[in-house]
């Protein structure tokens, strides 16, 4: 049985979560849609074909286009080629695009939709754990540049999201594992039951076919839906701020940049949460028990908790200074004072930052 989560933003949309739900794709399109551009990652061509067949059977004109794999898709060149596809096919504002793929595909195709004719509909069909709980919900779109990750983009909410959990059966275990840090993050910032579920059954969390994994994915999506509904454009100064979704991401994005995006995003976020926890403890905000709990949960899932890459502290620090959360010369970190107690911290003391780096650089 499918679960539907409503994202109550200015333009509400539904996230349908279940197994064998590809047949629901047409229900997420606006009435009157005539053309649909299906942009898909090469690894999920079979699912993309099923999506195309479903849409074609409903009388829609479908243009299917493969994309480069993973982060290689998130370039200006690929964006331009997608515009060319839409232009040559005569796409208008009454038409739509569909993404079928992981987080990079979702980010790129969302930006294609946001920028074509200043905004057309997009429906996301995420095919990785990471994309399901992160990129597909919330309306953040973007591409990478030589300067940094996701620095060029737009807020553009989807028309709907279709999460077919069956697709995870064909996902390599390491790819699934790399999506789990975003679920763990949701537990730390807002839903402690997620942490309890993982601690009680880590093997269930690692098995995409398990009921535990299904509940974890559903809960993580529900967290993101609630947060973005309260603060779509990361502008809230009080209450439930979208900025909390960046927990662990400041250091993670720095790792990704200095390592030329050779790290999996989830692995970087895993280490980034350890950095954030160590920084919070160095500032007297978070208990040692909570820091150790971070390490224990991520370790039991087989995720990295330390950084031994090629980037120096100076390189990482310089990259963090141009993170999207930065405000001019002010560095901002999302830190915790306890479970489900996140807050933004400006310009933490340099000795605390260095202490956190040393802690995360030490083999555990």
Question: How confident is the model over 160-177, as pLDDT tens digits?
Answer: 999 999 999 989 999 999
Domain edges within the chain? 3-170, 173-361
C-alpha 22/C-alpha 276 separation (Å) is: 38
Q: What is the β-pairing status of strands 3-7 and 61-66? A: unpaired
Q: Is residue 190 over pLDDT 80? A: yes
Structure tokens at 309: 């890459």
Strand locations in the chain (E): 3-7, 13-18, 35-40, 61-66, 96-101, 121-126, 140-143, 152-155, 160-164, 332-336, 342-346
CATH superfamily of 173-361: Dehydroquinate synthase-like - alpha domain (1.20.1090.10)
CATH of 3-170, one of 3.30.930.10, 3.40.50.1970, 2.40.50.320, 3.40.50.300: 3.40.50.1970
Q: How far, rounded to the nearest angstrom, does the alpha carbon of residue 186 sit from its chain's CA centroid?
A: 11
All residues at 6 or more sequence positions from 130 whose CB lies less than 8 Å from its CB, including other chains? 102, 103, 178, 179, 182, 265, 266
Q: What are the tens digits of pLDDT across the range 294-338?
A: 999 999 999 999 999 888 999 999 999 876 555 556 789 999 999
Which pTM does this prediction carry? 0.92
Q: Is residue 238 over pLDDT 80? A: no
Q: Is residue 149 over pLDDT 90? A: no
């Amino acid at each position: 049985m499918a679960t539907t989560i409503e994202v109550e933003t200015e333009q509400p949309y539904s996230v349908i979560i279940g197994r064998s739900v590809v047949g629901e794709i047409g229900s997420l399109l606006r009435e009157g849609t005539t053309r649909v551009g299906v942009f898909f990652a090469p690894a999920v061509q079979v699912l993309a074909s099923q999506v195309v067949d479903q849409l074609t059977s409903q009388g829609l004109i479908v243009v299917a286009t493969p994309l480069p794999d993973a982060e290689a898709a998130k370039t200006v060149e690929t964006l331009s080629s997608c515009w060319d596809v839409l232009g040559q096919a005569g796409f208008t504002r009454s038409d739509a695009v569909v993404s079928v793929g992981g987080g990079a595909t979702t980010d790129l195709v969302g930006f294609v939709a946001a920028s074509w004719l200043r905004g057309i509909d997009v429906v996301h069909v995420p095919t990785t754990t990471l994309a399901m709980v992160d990129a597909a919900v919330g309306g953040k779109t973007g591409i990478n540049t030589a300067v940094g990750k996701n620095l060029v983009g737009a807020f553009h909410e989807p028309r709907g999201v279709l999460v077919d959990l069956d697709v995870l059966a064909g996902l390599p275990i390491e790819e699934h594992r790399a999506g789990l840090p975003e679920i763990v993050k949701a537990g730390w910032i807002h839903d402690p039951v997620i942490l309890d579920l993982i601690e009680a059954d880590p093997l269930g969390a690692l098995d995409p076919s398990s009921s535990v994994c299904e509940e974890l994915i559903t809960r993580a999506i529900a967290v993101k839906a609630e947060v973005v509904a309260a603060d779509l454009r990361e502008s809230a100064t009080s209450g439930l701020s979208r900025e909390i979704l960046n927990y662990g991401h400041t250091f993670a994005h720095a790792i990704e940049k200095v390592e030329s995006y050779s790290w999996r995003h989830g692995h970087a976020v895993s280490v980034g949460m350890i950095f954030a926890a160590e920084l919070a403890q160095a500032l007297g905000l978070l208990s040692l028990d909570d820091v150790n709990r971070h390490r224990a949960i991520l370790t039991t899932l087989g995720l990295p908790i330390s950084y031994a890459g090629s980037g120096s502290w100076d390189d990482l620090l310089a990259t963090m200074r141009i993170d999207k959360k930065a405000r001019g010369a002010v560095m901002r970190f999302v830190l915790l004072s306890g479970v489900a107690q996140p807050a933004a911290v400006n310009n933490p003391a340099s000795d605390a930052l260095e202490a956190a780096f040393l802690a995360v650089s030490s083999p555990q």
